[in-house]
């Protein structure tokens, strides 16, 4: 079955591109930050430098890894769920559930390994650049040498593999077995994640305003809450869609599609919610932090400016990563609908109507994703601001939120439309006969 | 671009000739793997006729129907449907033209899995922005024996039931020309008879034009005439066909490939 897995990858490499990209980017991010641990452990590193490096690696590398875990897992889930029909066909041709599981998990393993291996080079360059940034801002001594060691390598490979293989395993189990029993497990998982996330954001209150790791609990909490909401979102979305009536044939189709595909949308919603929550939380928290540092008048030198730039760079990398994941999973999901679009066109839909439908779906998704993402972000921001400053909701939050939402809407609707346009170039009669 | 025979922009009732193909050629693939599915087909069908198209598997029947219906574009040649030439034009223009005039029953049904039987049936009306007559849809679905399956999804139906939904969908728009690709391929004798009677009724009572691909001589005998196709070329025509005559002709189809009709 592993040979079958390899053969299926070799025959249709395109459909694994999305998974490969997420594994590659994810592993690169984890390795980049965790190589700071390796660098800090080098000989002759003074304690201040070591401290800075370890904090950066633990805080940002920590929640970055959590984020990567869920991003890779959600891309893989989208991939496997789309292939339900193909798996069903294999099952009917005599493949046992165990064989299917080995095939899908084998594919995930191979793709994740390749992705992680490809990530090593870029991660070394990235880590070196990050260390340069630290040294330029004076937080790390110039004498410290960059080192890419076992911690970076092991965490990068392990987290990517566990996320990919775990998600593939769960998704294929769902695809080859009834869904009934899983619904309860999913609800339980959702509430457990929400509870953990709530604990994480509340733990902010236990920390002091000057703690270096004060930024960590809000970020962790926002990520966990996002995942919890993403697990619950399909059901809530279904409830909303039952009441939603969009006008026109395109709107009508969009509502019906979203309702039918609610289960599959969890993966895309996860990326969207994560993007809104993580971007809003980390950028706002960083803005508050910078303001507080400036207000305290402790360091008002060039260094403070450097530090701010550095932190925004780090947060920016994470935000861009989630944004790429969002584009990635949307692209994969839309490409896959070529046959469906073809059938609609043959039934009398103009390409414009198909695009209208995709656009309407994107808008509804954006509203749902932004709503849950905002709730998760607020849960992270408010405790931080209360502890760090005297305000409850910082003034910068609104501007950042608006920017994040604009990007989320543009990316979601834009990717959907651009991909659909490309898909529509195939003649309808051909699109419906292509193997799905 | 679109051209009506008399250069009139407005639709002024059905044209006398429902369908005309002139030297239509269609090739799939390129270079060494190229397959000529249609090789210079020329034919004309009068309004209000019921024509069956027969020929061996792979002879180009589905391709012929799709080119004639404006679903696929021929490489060369002219297609005129209901007095309007389909050459050129954007996909949107072709789609809008088809909506009012052409109904199509696909060999692979092409129903949408996310919609129920009733929703699938009225989808063309909805897309065309026309009034959705649910009563009429139910009536047609009942005629094809699916009156109790309105709320089911295609994946909950048997192959034959899906085929009947596809037929109901093609009929509900009341098109002038109906193309049906093996509409009885997955049906038992009785359901097949019902469907063939419906198609006959569309011709006799409503004056529509039906072109139907079939492998079954009995189904072909419901038509006014049969066109035979072999290797992408017309290989004869039979008027007022009986099942026996059709079977006889099919058996010798390979012997005398004659071009044109
Ligand atoms: N999309 C395609 N790409 C390449 N070749 C095609 C395509 N569609 C049809 N062909 C080829 O064109 C020829 C005619 O196909 P067509 O589907 O029209 O046959 P048919 O007469 O409808 O056969 P059947 O009775 O089996 O449905 C065949 O040789 C087929 O292999
Ligand atoms: Mg065919």
DSSP labels, B193-250? HHHHHHHHHHHHTT--EEEEE-S-HHHHTTSSEEEEEETTEEEEEEES--HHHHHHHH
Structure tokens at B121: 């049936």
Q: What is the DSSP string of A325-370?
A: HHHHHHHHHHHTTHHHHHHHHHTT--HHHHHHHHHHHHHHHHHHHH
Instruction: Give the whole-angstrom CA distance, residue A346 versus residue B146.
Output: 22
CA–CA dist B172, B177 (Å, integer): 12
Q: Does the CB of A338 have a partner CB in chain B at under 8 Å?
A: no
Pocket test for ligand 1, best of B30, B35, B214 (most atoms within 8 A of CB): B35
Q: Which ligand is nearest to the CA of A432?
A: 1
In chain A, the percentage of residues whose pLDDT exceeds 70 is 91
The whole-number pLDDT of residue A335 equals: 86
Band of the pLDDT at B116, cuts 50, 70, 90? very high
pLDDT at res. B251: 87
Q: How far apart are CA B224 and CA B85, in angstroms?
A: 25
B95 min Cα distance to partner chain A (Å): 6
pLDDT at A283 over 60: yes
Whole-number pLDDT of residue A45? 85
Q: What's the rounded Cα separation, in Å, for the pair A60 and A240?
A: 36
Are A340 and B112 inside 8 Å of each other by CB?
A: yes
Residue A29 reports pLDDT greater than 50: yes
pLDDT value at residue B8: 42
Percent of chain A residues past pLDDT 90, beyond the cut: 37
Going from the Cα of A115 to the center of ligand 2, the distance in angstroms, rounded, reads 43
3-state secondary structure of B254: coil
Contacts of B129 in chain A (CB under 8 A): 249
Q: To which residue do tokens 């950042």 refer?
A: A400
> Which position has the token pair 């959705």?
B132
Q: Which is the closest atom of ligand 1 to the Cα of B107? A: 27
Cα A432 to the center of its chain, rounded Å:
32
pLDDT mean over A179-190:
75
- Ligand 1 atom, smallest distance to A429 CA: 1
A296-304 long-range contacts, CB within 8 A, separation 24+: A303/A137, A303/A138
Q: How far is the CA of B58 from the centre of ligand 2 (A)?
A: 7
* Smallest-distance ligand from the CA of B56: 1
Q: Is the pLDDT of residue A377 over 70?
A: yes
CB-closest option in B99, B106, B114 to A257: B114
Ligand 2 centroid, distance to B57 Cα (angstroms): 7
Residues lining ligand 1, Cβ inside 6 A: A 430, 433; B 28-29, 35, 37, 55, 57-63, 107
Of ligand 1's atoms, which has the minimum distance to the CA of residue B61? 21
Indicate whether B15 pLDDT > 80.
no
Ligand 1 atom closest to the CA of A430, numbered from 1: 1
Q: What is the pLDDT of residue A253?
A: 92
Q: What pLDDT, on a 0 to 100 scale, did the predictor assign at position B10? A: 54
Over residues A361-375, mean pLDDT: 94
Q: Which residues of A are less than 8 Å from B126 in CB distance?
A: 249, 252
Give residue B38 CA to ligand 1 midpoint distance, Å: 10
Query: Among all chains, which residue has been given the structure tokens 């195939």?
Result: A426
State the average pLDDT over residues A24-50.
Answer: 89
pLDDT of residue B5 exceeding 50: no
In tens, the pLDDT along A48-88 reads 888 888 887 887 778 888 888 888 888 888 778 777 777 87
The CATH class that applies to domain B48-112+176-260 reads alpha beta
- Long-range CB pairs of B239-248 (<8 Å, 24+ gap) are B241/B52, B241/B217, B243/B217, B243/B218, B244/B217, B246/B54, B246/B217, B246/B220, B246/B221, B247/B217
Ligand 1, atom 6, lies closest to the CA of B28
CA–centroid distance, B122 to ligand 2, in Å, is: 25
Q: Is this structure's pTM higher than 0.90? A: no
As a whole number, the mean pLDDT across chain A is 85
Residues of chain A found within 8 Å of residue B165, distances taken between Cβ atoms = none
Taking contacts as CB-CB distances below 8 angstroms, the residues of chain A near B137 are: none
- Angle, helix B117-127 to helix A248-260, in steps of 10 degrees: 150
Helix/strand/coil percentages in chain B, nearest 5 = 35, 25, 40
C-alpha B66/C-alpha B61 separation (Å) is 9
Residue A142 has pLDDT above 60, yes or no: yes
CA distance A278 to A356: 30
The answer to whether B142 and B172 are in contact (CB under 8 A) is: no
pLDDT, residue A60, reads 76
Q: Is A340 on the interface with B (CB under 8 A)?
A: yes
A44 — pLDDT class (breaks 50, 70, 90): confident
**Is A88 an 8 Å CB contact of chain B?**
no
- d(C-alpha B10, C-alpha B248), whole Å: 45
The domain segmentation of chain A, as residue ranges, is 1-178, 181-436
Of A342, A347, A429, Cβ closest to residue B127: A347
The better pLDDT of the pair B256, A160 is held by A160
What number of C-beta contacts closer than 8 Å exist between A and B? Answer: 64
- Least confidently predicted of A18-27, B238-247, B249-258: B249-258
Closest Cα to atom 25 of ligand 1: B57
Give A100's contacts (C-beta < 8 A, 6+ positions apart). Answer: A87, A90, A91, A172, A175, A176
Q: Which residue has the higher pLDDT, A251 or B3?
A: A251
Helix intervals (H) in chain B: 61-68, 91-101, 117-127, 134-143, 159-172, 189-204, 217-220, 243-251
Nearest-Cα distance to chain A for B256, in Å, is: 32
Q: Does A370 have pLDDT greater than 60?
A: yes
Q: What is the ipTM of this complex?
A: 0.88
- With cut-offs at 50, 70 and 90, classify the pLDDT of residue B230: very high
Closest by Cβ to A348, choosing from B66, B72, B95: B95
| Interchain pair A256, B115: CB under 8 A | yes
Contact B114 A260 (CB under 8 A): yes
In this predicted model, what pLDDT tens digit does every residue of B172-226 receive, in sequence order? 988 999 999 999 988 899 889 988 998 998 899 989 999 999 999 999 999 999 9
Task: Write down the mean pLDDT value for chain B.
Answer: 88
Whether the predicted pLDDT of B151 surpasses 90: yes
Residue A61's pLDDT is what?
A: 79
Over residues A102-119, mean pLDDT = 92
DSSP state, residue B80? E
| Contact across the interface for B92 and A428, Cβ inside 8 Å | no
A393 φψ region: left (φ > 0), alpha (ψ -120 to 50), beta (else): beta
What is the per-residue pLDDT across A299-322, written as a single tens digit (0 to 9) for each?
545 555 666 777 777 778 878 888
CA–CA separation, B211 and B125 (whole Å)? 22
């Amino acid at each position: 079955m592993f040979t079958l897995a390899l053969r299926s990858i070799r025959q249709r490499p395109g459909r694994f591109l999305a998974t490969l990209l997420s594994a590659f980017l994810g592993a690169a991010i984890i390795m980049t930050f965790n190589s700071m641990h390796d660098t800090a452990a080098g000989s002759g590193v003074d304690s201040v430098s070591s401290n800075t490096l370890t904090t950066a690696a633990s805080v940002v590398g920590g929640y970055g890894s959590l984020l990567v875990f869920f991003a890779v897992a959600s891309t893989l889930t989208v991939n496997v769920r789309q292939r339900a029909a193909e798996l069903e066909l294999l099952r009917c041709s005599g493949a046992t559930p165990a064989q299917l599981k080995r095939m899908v998990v084998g594919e995930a393993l191979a793709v994740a390994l390749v992705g992680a291996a490809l990530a090593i080079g870029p991660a070394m360059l990235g880590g070196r650049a990050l260390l340069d940034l630290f040294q330029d801002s004076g937080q790390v001594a110039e004498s410290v040498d960059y080192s890419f060691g076992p911690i970076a390598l092991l965490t990068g490979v392990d987290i990517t593999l566990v996320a990919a293989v775990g998600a593939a395993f769960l998704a294929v189990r769902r695809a080859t077995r009834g869904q009934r029993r899983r619904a309860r497990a999913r609800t339980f998982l959702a509430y457990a994640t929400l509870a953990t996330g709530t604990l994480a954001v509340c733990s902010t209150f236990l920390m002091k305003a000057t703690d270096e790791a004060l930024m960590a609990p809000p970020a962790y909490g926002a990520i966990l809450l996002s995942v919890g909401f993403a697990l619950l979102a399909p059901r809530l979305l279904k409830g909303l869609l039952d009441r939603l009536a969009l006008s026109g044939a395109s709107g009508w189709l969009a509502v019906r599609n979203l309702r039918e595909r609610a289960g599959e949308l969890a993966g895309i919603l996860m990326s969207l919610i994560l993007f809104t929550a993580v971007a809003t939380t980390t950028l706002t928290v960083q803005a508050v932090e910078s303001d507080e540092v400036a207000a305290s008048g402790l360091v008002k030198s060039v260094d403070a400016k450097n530090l701010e730039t550095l932190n925004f760079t780090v947060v920016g990398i994470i935000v861009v990563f989630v944004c790429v994941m969002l584009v990635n999973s949307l692209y994969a999901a839309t490409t896959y609908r070529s046959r469906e679009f073809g059938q609609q066109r043959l039934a009398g839909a103009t390409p414009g109507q198909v695009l209208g439908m995709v656009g309407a779906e994107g808008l509804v998704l954006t509203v749902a994703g932004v709503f849950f993402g905002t709730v998760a972000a607020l849960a992270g921001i408010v405790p931080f601001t209360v502890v760090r400053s005297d305000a409850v909701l910082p003034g910068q939050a609104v501007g950042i939120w608006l920017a994040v939402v604009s990007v989320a809407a543009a990316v979601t609707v834009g990717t959907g439309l651009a991909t659909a346009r490309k898909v529509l170039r195939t003649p309808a009669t051909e699109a419906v006969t292509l193997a799905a | 671009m679109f051209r009506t025979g008399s250069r009139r922009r407005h639709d002024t009732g059905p044209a006398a000739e429902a369908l005309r193909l002139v030297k239509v050629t269609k090739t799939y693939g390129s270079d060494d793997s190229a397959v000529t599915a249609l090789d210079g087909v020329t034919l004309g069908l009068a309004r209000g006729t019921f024509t069956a198209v027969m020929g061996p598997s792979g002879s180009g029947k589905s391709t012929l129907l799709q080119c004639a219906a404006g679903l696929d574009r021929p490489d060369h040649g002219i297609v005129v449907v209901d007095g309007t030439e389909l050459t050129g034009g954007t996909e949107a223009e072709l789609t809008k033209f088809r909506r009012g005039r052409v109904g199509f029953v696909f060999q692979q049904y092409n129903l949408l899995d996310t919609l129920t039987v009733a929703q699938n049936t009225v989808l063309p009306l909805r897309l065309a922005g026309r009034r959705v007559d649910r009563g009429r849809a139910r009536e047609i679905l009942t005629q094809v024996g699916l009156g109790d399956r309105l709320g089911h999804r295609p994946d909950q139906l048997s192959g034959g039931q899906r085929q009947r939904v596809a037929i109901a969908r093609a009929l509900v728009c009341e098109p002038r020309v109906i193309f049906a690709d093996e509409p009885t391929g997955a049906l038992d004798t009785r359901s097949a008879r019902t469907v063939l009677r419906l198609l006959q009724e569309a011709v006799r009572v409503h004056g529509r034009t039906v072109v139907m691909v079939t492998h079954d001589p009995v189904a072909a005998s419901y038509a006014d005439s049969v066109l035979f196709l072999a290797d992408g070329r017309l290989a004869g025509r039979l008027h007022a066909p009986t099942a026996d005559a059709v079977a006889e002709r099919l058996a010798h189809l390979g012997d005398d490939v004659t071009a044109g009709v």
